[in-house]
A and B are shown apart, each in its own frame.
Chain A
Amino acid sequence: MRFASLLLSIGLLIPACLGVRYETLTSKYKKNILKITDANYQNLLNNEDFDIVLYLTASSPQVGCVLCNEFQPVFEQLAASFYENLETHGLGSDDTKLIFAYSDFPDSRKLFQQLALNNVPKVYYYNAQQGIGLKPSDEFMFMSTDLLSTLTSWLVAKTHLSPELFNLRTKVNYTELLLTFCIVFGLGVTIILNYKRVLAIITNKRGWQALSILLVILFTSGYMFNLIRNTQYIRTNKDGSNIYFIGGHQAQLGVETQIISVIYGLFCAGMVILVDLFKKFDNAKLRLFSSVGLSIGLFVLYSILVTCFHAKNTGYPYWLLKF
């Protein structure tokens, strides 16, 4: 009987010995977020010594995961702040054993396979007390819009650590500050030295004219929509062909704005020439050819615009020229 229990306790101990100790890890990865790959995941995730917050991501541009890239800095900042809070500010007690780790898809295909993931990003929490294996004790839900605060409250709830540990620490970046100062100072000096030239640029009517027209064209071709919604630049079909316009007034691609702003720019140039034409050309024949040519050009341009609009609004009944 005694023998059996001894065996049992040895059996329980072995995996713990196989796993990595918290102290060794923290001395190695000081203040840094731990990277988990195919090489080390077995050891790390099968431990009973410390808790792990694991962020699973696919940061490579081929995958094109927008949320992953958006979330990465948030997670890193939180991890860095946590370690700093722990060490320098002594907020945690001695048995605070929490490791922030992340794993990127290309380096840990095996792990992703074992976890049977079919979408990223994910944040898993591995509790040291709750058994061995790859199955996480809990998963963070990417639902809210304010990811940082929900992640913090989720972590506080899971780890039962004091919320102060997760307070963000923003580092003052002195080099950047110095650089900004230098740039501002340099700019100021150049402006004062070349006062007249700068004044000439600022008071140049043409410059302001171009700027205003550019802004008007940009805003009316949906630039702000792209900026606010972080839209995709272009979409690709399964057969590799590109989609330049997606239907509906609720969505838009980055390339749409570019195409439309070019069309508007051409319109603007054509109209200006057309209106000022009669002052410029004395020859009546030349006038005829250019005005007829411009009219045709504008008509074709307008037809292209209407065709583009058809791609957005399929129920639109009018066509100029069908392309």
Chain B
Amino acid sequence: MVSLIDNEGYLRVDPTLLKLVKLLLLTLIFVSVSFAAVSSRLFSVIRFESIIHEFDPWFNFRATKHLVNTSFYEFLNWFDDKTWYPLGRVTGGTLYPGLMVTSSVIYHILKFVGLPVDIRNICVLLAPAFSSITSVAMYLLTLEVTSTTPTLKHKKTAALFSAFLMGITPGYISRSVAGSYDNEAIAITLLLVTFFLWVKSVNTGSIFYGALTAMFYFYMVSAWGGYVFITNIIPLHVFILLLMGRFDYKIYTSYCTWYALGTLMSMQIPFVGFLPIRSNDHMAAFGVFGLLQLVLLVSYLKDTLSPTKFVRLMFAFSAVVATVGISGLVLATKMGWIAPWTGRFYSLWDTNYAKVHIPIIASVSEHQPTPWSSFFFDLNFMIWLFPVGVYFCFQELSNPAVFVIVYSVLGSYFAGVMVRLMLTLAPIVCVCAGITLGRLFNIYLDVKDELSSWWNNKESQDSLFTLLSKMVVSATFVFYLVFYVQHCTWVTSNAYSSPSVVLASRNPDGSQLLIDDYREAYYWLRMNTPEDAKVMAWWDYGYQIGGMADRTTFVDNNTWNNTHIATVGRAMATSEDKAEVIMRQLDVDYVLVIFGGLIGYSGDDINKFLWMVRISEGIWPEEISERNYFTDRGAYRVDDLATDAMKNSLMYKLSFYRFGDAYNGLDPVDRVRQQKLSSSYAKSITLDVMEEAFTSENWIVRIYKLKNRDNFGRDLIDIGKKDRKQQSKRTKRMLSRKKPTLDLRV
């Protein structure tokens, strides 16, 4: 009998059926959350196509292809001679292999099952797939926090809300849309799973969960450099618990298990190596590990010794520990075994440090601080539910609640300092917002009592009033939730779904226009240049050239060698004759520049030019000076009034060479800088050591070939000058009258 009506008139249902219904509902909710999470990340695939985005993902894609085609050990030993020419890069030892290994495992499993899926599609869709796992992990984390904190009732509601909020929050979507095949795509999932297991192991004190935490920590270390966040937040949590006098064997067991196993395992990643025992990032974890042993010893002694003896021993003991500790630290730093005070340490606390001392960090916009509007943009109404959640966590300070508080404060500090750390803040915001919403809806949506009392006693105004007030509050918050969905969809669709390899624009009539210059040019490189051709471009495009054109590059987004980058910057910033020497020394075949002046694409090389100048000025201050590229009045000009250094620089010439031809004798206009060049001046921009090899449809990518040395050993620039002189006045006049038909590819 599944259900029956008992003699009191209540409907009695079989408990297993109730459980089944509950399970069904839960599954349904998760399916819908996953569906929402995955589908909102597919904007770019639908609008453009299944394509890898931006810059870094192209390297990850290329590395994944290498891994799929070779074995794992070969991948770890990979020495890549197609980048950082002529130095090469020890790629296997300088990357986090987690992402590539994950997708290659998926690839092989699917192949084994009999579903051969193209590796590119796996890479493109990896991030959305992991986002649905993230929301499950989010559910587990919130459930673990709320179910062990008695005042945070209504645990499942809160957990489900946080899962839903996490699924579509733009703060997380920004790094996990389809095609953004980057480390963060799987790292956030791992971060949440690690935190869930950590909270679980503190609650249970089991070695099993501690070891599982270490396992997932290891996976996280193998996937993303941001693992340092975990390395610091767990010790901080334990440290604060110790200060609160919460020491117990559960904490001891879980922390020691995690630290010992996690550290040993993380050292197996070649790129991490001995960092966990050397660098300052890991010192906190080590310190807390030592502290826990001391606390354990002290609590043991306290139980066995008499109070007076204990106090005496304590004084002696603490003096010894302090002297040994401090002198050991000083000695180790002096001997160079550990480096607690490196540049990165300063850049987190004194954020101006990086700006002054490391121009290459300052040139990356991801390292900028975060204004309030970005928080609202990425988190919508959760940003004001967030502090409320922190407030509720304080009502009963259980160990998991302390974890949430520590994470909230620290996470919001880091997110405030650096835009890209919004990613690590988003999960805890979802937890807090989920707790708040769960609590609110549990109070205000629960109208069972009011309905029944109103039903039984129609006269009672009290229950009607209560009912009404509950409905008003619930309605507003349901509206906020709907608004949240709208906001997230809009943000995702407008801000985070552009692959930046293909650009979208609008025709005058409003129809969509796709600008596909990058791929056109890279494809040209792939098909028309020798396989061992070396292409010089600014480092932003290194990964794309490697990934799409499969040609050797000099510098790329890895930026491990500042001098090499500065050399390329110097070649771009100096005059043609000096640049020729550098390029011959580097063995350059082609030079690729990005030029947006014709269609108004602002992310081009002329706008990035100042960084090239700045970075090379850092190495050759006597040769290159940033000031020379500004006019006397401090303006950055590219037209007739540009400074000589600007006009003579290789980058300028490569960008504006034959620019006048596109305008058929009219004055050409640079649509990015909004400056007009006179047509006669535009014609006077000449190139002697290079020749134009390819210019894409909208002139965004321009590729030049370095001319071979003259057979008679003459200087190429002299030849060019002589040639121009020999054009007699008559031919010049002829030329100007005749207006030859231009072979422009428009």
Interface residues of A (CB under 8 A from B): 141, 143-146, 205, 208-209, 212-213, 215-217, 219-225, 228-229, 249-252, 256-257, 260, 263-264, 267-268, 271-272, 274-275, 278, 284-285, 287-288, 291-292, 294-295, 298-299, 302, 305, 309, 312-313, 315-318, 320
Cβ of A284 and Cβ of B466 under 8 Å apart?
A: yes
Cβ of B369 and Cβ of A224 under 8 Å apart?
A: yes
Chain A's closest residue to B621 (CB) is: A153
Q: Which of B436, B473, B483 has the most CB of A within 10 A?
A: B473
Residues of A within 8 A of B374 (CB): 249
Chain A's closest residue to B245 (CB) is: A203
Cβ of B377 and Cβ of A313 under 8 Å apart?
A: yes
Cβ of A213 and Cβ of B413 under 8 Å apart?
A: no
Give the complex CA separation of A220 and B443 in angstroms.
28
Give the complex CA separation of A8 and B384 in angstroms.
82
Give the complex CA separation of A249 and B356 in angstroms.
22
Cβ of B371 and Cβ of A216 under 8 Å apart?
A: no
Residues of A within 8 A of B416 (CB): 219-220, 222-225
**How far in angstroms is the closest Cβ of chain B from A67?**
13
Cβ of A216 and Cβ of B473 under 8 Å apart?
A: no
Residues of B within 8 A of A287 (CB): 465-466, 469
**How far in angstroms is the closest Cβ of chain B from A136?**
14
Chain A's closest residue to B425 (CB) is: A220
Instruction: Pick the contact of B372: A209, A220, A274, A302 (CB < 8 A).
Output: A220
**How far in angstroms is the closest Cβ of chain A from B630?**
8
Within 8 A of A (CB), among B457-483: 461-463, 465-466, 468-470, 472-473, 476, 480, 483
Chain B's closest residue to A309 (CB) is: B376
Chain A's closest residue to B618 (CB) is: A144
Cβ of A252 and Cβ of B372 under 8 Å apart?
A: yes
Name the 3 nearest CB pairs between A and B, nearest first. A224-B416, A222-B372, A312-B373
Cβ of A213 and Cβ of B391 under 8 Å apart?
A: yes
Residues of A within 8 A of B397 (CB): 205
Q: Which of A228, A256, A298, A313 has the most CB of B within 10 A?
A: A228
**How far in angstroms is the closest Cβ of chain A from B645?**
13
- Selected A-B contacts with CB under 8 Å, 6 pairs: A212-B390, A223-B416, A224-B369, A228-B352, A274-B440, A275-B439
Cβ of B391 and Cβ of A225 under 8 Å apart?
A: no
Cβ of A228 and Cβ of B369 under 8 Å apart?
A: yes
Q: Does B200 contact A (CB under 8 A)?
A: no
The main secondary structure of chain B at its interface with chain A is: helix
Give the complex CA separation of A20 and B462 in angstroms.
95
Besides A205-B397, A225-B371, 6 more A-B contacts (Cβ < 8 Å) are A208-B394, A216-B390, A225-B416, A229-B369, A275-B440, A288-B469
Q: Does B4 contact A (CB under 8 A)?
A: no
Residues A141 and B627 in contact in the complex (CB < 8 Å), given A216-B409, A223-B416, A309-B376: yes
Cβ of A288 and Cβ of B466 under 8 Å apart?
A: yes
**How far in angstroms is the closest Cβ of chain A from B176?**
20
**How far in angstroms is the closest Cβ of chain A from B247?**
16
Cβ of B443 and Cβ of A225 under 8 Å apart?
A: no
Q: Does B691 contact A (CB under 8 A)?
A: no
Give the complex CA separation of A312 and B375 in angstroms.
12
Give the complex CA separation of A129 and B537 in angstroms.
47
Chain B's closest residue to A145 (CB) is: B356
Give the complex CA separation of A192 and B381 in angstroms.
46
Cβ of A278 and Cβ of B465 under 8 Å apart?
A: no
Residues of B within 8 A of A145 (CB): 355-356
Cβ of A215 and Cβ of B413 under 8 Å apart?
A: yes
Residues of B within 8 A of A208 (CB): 394
**How far in angstroms is the closest Cβ of chain A from B470?**
8
Give the complex CA separation of A32 and B130 in angstroms.
66
